[in-house]
Structure 1
Amino acid sequence: MDDLGVGARIARARRLARLTQVQLAQKANVSLSLLRKVEQGDRAATPALTAAAARVLGVSVGDLNGQPYEQEQGDAGAAHATIPELRRAIVAYDDEPVTGPSSFGDLADALDRVREGMRRARYSDMTAELPDVIRGLHQLADDDLPGAQREEVHSALAYAYSKAMLFAYQYGYLDLAGLAAERCGWAADRSGDPIWPIAAEYNRALILLYSGAYAGGLRTIDRAYAASEQLPTTPDLLAVRGALHLRGSILSARALDRDTAESHLAEAGGVAAAIQGSRYSNYGTGFRPSNVDIHSVAVPVELSDGTTALSRAERIHLAGSVAPSRAGHFYIDVSRAWLLHGNKAQAFRSLEQARMIAPELTRNHPQVHETLRVLAHTRRGTDKLAHFAKWANVKI
């Protein structure tokens, strides 16, 4: 990819489409002044603006973000290098030979390591084993297993595909993430567990969120929630419902529907209170009470309301037990809030916190790249900023 920022890519695509800034702003339903600032590099392009521009210009969100980012060294380079093997495993699934562990116990152990790598946002740790886990589980699913064991294998496959989806999404391979989400749904339908298909819809909604298909994503959430109401209420089911509400809150915020976003947040808070202290499985959604707090900041950030986001962030103390992947997202959103608030020094300090907690996540997050470029636009020559940008492979 090129070294441009999102604003410059939007401007280039707009000119190729023979549209003026006024025409693009009207067709994308965005403010002309905001579009001008984004194209000039004075404002960060929000995910919602990027998706709206991509729709009008006939390009993908990934094209405007410049994803997947090229990384040649370190953990990020190692993670990118595993994508071809993961792609082969997902595309071929049960038509490739198994070279890794073959017993369900060994595959479950490997899947636990993948889970921990994702929790710690150490994606390079998890990707090396994931293709063999997928192949091995498919081989077991093809064996003549009793019904209960076959369903257990498909539950593990649904989880493996959900992690493959999330990894591909984090690194900007949206086509692969979409395919993994579909495979997750396929396995979930064969798991014998009525909660898994609901969790699979939660995963699918993430792909729609990234693509800017907010109405479709919200319909997916509503459909999954309606299905959940047909099942007996358990802590496991409540955790998945809470996750659906959190995803619905971000989808609604991106669609600029503040009331619905806040309603989803309130419902998620109620779920968190109801299951506090209970033991439950979250089906890979990562739902925790702390996640509600984190989303309470993310929602106003997506609505470009930095004041509300910072007011809420001041009241949040993330415990040490919060997964680095979640804490990293929190500080990235706090950085965006400070930038909206006009405090560039605090915005950069929050990015430094995100990097310390979850370096791989921070290096590959599009909003980190956008924030760095806007900071550089007004603070060019700052050594710490230049070193950070070089680490993240962002040309400023």
Structure 2
Amino acid sequence: MPAIVYHRVGARVAYQRRLASLTQAELASAAAIALGTLRKIERDERGASDAVLDAIADALGIDPSELLPGTGRPDDRVHQAMPALSEVIATYDMPDDGPVRPLRQLRDAVDEAVRWRLAAQYVRITRHVPALLAELSRALHTAPPADRAAVAALLVSAYRAADAVAYKYGARDLSARLIDLMRWTAPHAEDPLLDAAVAYVRTETFFAARAHEAGLRALEQAADAALRRNDTATLAARGALHMRAAVIAGRAGQAATAETHLDEARALGDRVPEATYGGTAFGPDSVRIHEVSLAVSLGDAHAGRALSLAREWQPPVDLPAERRSGFYIELARAQLWAGQADHAFESLKVARRIAPQHTREHRWVREDTATLRRLKRADAESLNNFAAWCRAGE
């Protein structure tokens, strides 16, 4: 994939470096780039390629989008990767020849992609996952019988990371294709919990098509088919299905059914610690976030429930960034419905600080920001800048 070179990033790099209390030499060393290169970037005497920008961001421990100039668009990097991703999935059953790393190294690479997905690091996913998918496809076709199930499970997780990007950036057909490939690959893993995870992700296609009742039926079937063991992973898998069923039932306008599923999720969540199970965060905190999601799904008459929960509780910082930012995006909508425009804008800004790429690409963020601009309840300059950043009104 051709590199994108960003110019006029110097001031942002220097600002973030000072925030981290690093000298230029220390940052250059941590990012594994030449000191002279960093100095030229900070003086805007040269641009920074996406690879260099990623290296600097990694060294600073921040999202790469925080280093982009005001005119820089992280979605340029994502959309540029879509053809490569499409090519990889088109050849899933006849991958090109190439190297395949040992299973342990493949597992490490997939674990990293999962971390990027949970942290809403979509640019990083697009830079690395297409090649990883190709390698995993080769591995699945060449793996000895003893390793085939493990490779299939890794491939499903990698497809899920790629789908997160496709879905968030509006490539609905590509997302649906990736989910189909997850469903095709999962049986090779011989893991019922993975089947539950795929059913959880498949709900995206029903959300996108507004086929909420069909999506609810699919989730209920998956929950009924889930294992009835009482180990933590199985309880979490079942709980996640009920948690998502509650939200889609709310979108379908089935309030009583939604409450039943939320109660099931809450009971299961109380039996497991909050953690990421099979790539999905689940536990008491995730259930609370979905309670807000349900209130928003049921409409503005239920906004008070979301506001009441938010007054008593905030998502802890150790939850995945995508999930935490989603909480504040949904809270902002409830606050807007309740006439609390200033609070809604503050919630959107919190969501941006937590996961800028997720927030920027969220349809509700653009819609609610456009509404806030019409209301003119917040600081005009700050709100206008935010609206330009998230492309409100587009």
What TM-score results when the alignment is normalised by the length of structure 2? Answer: 0.77
Matched to 2:390, the amino acid is: A
Question: How many Å apart are 1:98 and its aligned residue?
Answer: 5.3
Counterpart of 2:195, as a letter, is: P
Query: Residue 271 of structure 2 corresponds to which residue in structure 1?
Result: 274
User: In the alignment, residue 296 of structure 1 is paired with which amino acid?
Assistant: E
Structure 1 counterpart SS, 2:277: coil
Distance 1:113 1:174 in 2: 24
What is the CA–CA distance in structure 1 between the aligned matches of 2:308 and 2:276, rounded to whole Å? 32
Aligned to 1:320, the other structure's residue is in SS state: coil
1:263 corresponds in structure 2 to 260
Partner of 1:104: 103
Query: Who is 1:27 aligned against?
Result: none
Give yes or no for contact 2:100–2:139 (8 Å, CA) kept in 1. Answer: no
2:155 aligned residue (151, 154, 157): 157
* Residue aligning to 1:376: 373
Gap runs ≥5 in structure 1: 1-70
Corresponding residue for residue 95 of structure 1: 94
For the Cα contact (< 8 Å) 1:246–1:295, is it kept in 2?
yes
Aligned length: 322
* Deviation, structure 1 residue 245: 0.7
CA distance in 2, matches of 1:360, 1:99: 32
Q: Check the 8 A contact 1:98/1:135 in 2, yes or no.
A: no
Matched, 1:180 2:175: no
Pairing partner for 2:321 from 291, 299, 324: 324
8 Å CA contact 2:276, 2:282 repeated in 1 = no
Which residue in the other structure is 2:131 paired with? Answer: 132
Q: Residue 116 of structure 1 aligns to which amino acid in structure 2?
A: R
**Residue 194 of structure 1: how far off its partner (Å):** 2.1
**1:344-373, Cα deviation, whole Å (9 max, x unpaired):** 111111111111111000100000010011
Report sequence identity in percent. 31
Mapped partners of 1:97, 1:78: distance in 2: 24
1:120 deviates by 1.3
Question: Residues 141-290 of structure 1: matches in 2 within 5 Å?
Answer: 141-143=140-142, 145-146=144-145, 148-229=146-227, 231-276=228-273, 282-290=277-285
Counterpart CA distance in 2 for 1:97 and 1:378 is: 55
1:361 aligns with 2:358: yes
Residue 308 of structure 2 aligns with an amino acid whose one-letter code is S
CA positional deviation for 1:281: 6.3
Contact 2:352 2:359 in 1 (8 A): yes
SS in 2 for 1:286: strand
For residues 105 and 72 of structure 1, the distance between their equivalents in structure 2, rounded to whole angstroms, comes to 40
* Paired residue type of 1:241: R
Q: Indicate if the aligned counterparts of 1:252 and 1:258 stay in contact, CA closer than 8 A.
A: yes
- 3-state SS, counterpart of residue 321 of structure 1: coil
User: Does the CA-based 8 Å contact 1:100-1:133 persist in structure 2?
Assistant: no
Specify whether residues 99 and 374 from structure 1 end up closer, same or farther in structure 2 by C-alpha distance, changes over 3 A only: farther
Q: Secondary structure at the residue paired with 1:112?
A: helix
| Aligned partners of 2:328 and 2:351 also within 8 Å | yes
Q: CA deviation at 1:78?
A: 1.5
Which residue in 1 is equivalent to 2:115? 116
Structure 1 residues 202-233: Cα deviation after superposition (integer angstroms, max 9, x where no partner): 2112211221111111111111111114x533
Distance in 1 of aligned mates of 2:106 and 2:293: 35
Residues 99 and 338 from structure 1, CA distance in 2 versus in 1: closer, same or farther, beyond 3 angstroms? farther
Q: Within 2, Cα distance between the matches of 1:144 and 1:360? A: 36
Name the counterpart of 1:303. 298
Question: Once the 2 structures are TM-superposed, how far is the Cα of residue 144 of structure 1 from its aligned partner?
Answer: 5.0
1:40-119 equivalent positions in 2, closer than 5 A: 73-97=72-96, 102-119=101-118
CA contact (8 A) 1:208 1:214 kept: yes
SS at match of 2:191: coil
Q: Which residue of 2 aligns with 1:334?
A: 331
Letter in 2 for 1:293: R
8 A Cα contact 1:236 1:281, kept in partner: no
C-alpha deviations, 1:304-345, integer Å up to 9, x for none?
Answer: 221111011112122221111111000001100110001111
Moved more, 204-213 or 181-190: 204-213
CA shift for structure 1 position 292 = 0.5
1:313 to 305, 310, 319: 310
Q: Kindly provide the CA deviation profile for residues 16-48 of structure 1, in whole angstroms up to 9, marking residues without a partner as x.
A: xxxxxxxxxxxxxxxxxxxxxxxxxxxxxxxxx
Distance 1:334 1:317 in 2: 11
- Call closer, same or farther: CA 1:99–1:347 in 2, change over 3 Å: farther
- What's the TM-score once normalised by structure 1's chain length? 0.77
Look up the SS of the partner of 2:189 in the other structure: coil
Render the CA deviation track for 1:131-173: whole Å, top value 9, x for unaligned: 1111111111111512x31111111111111222222111111
Could you list the runs of 5+ residues in structure 2 that have no partner in the other structure? 1-69
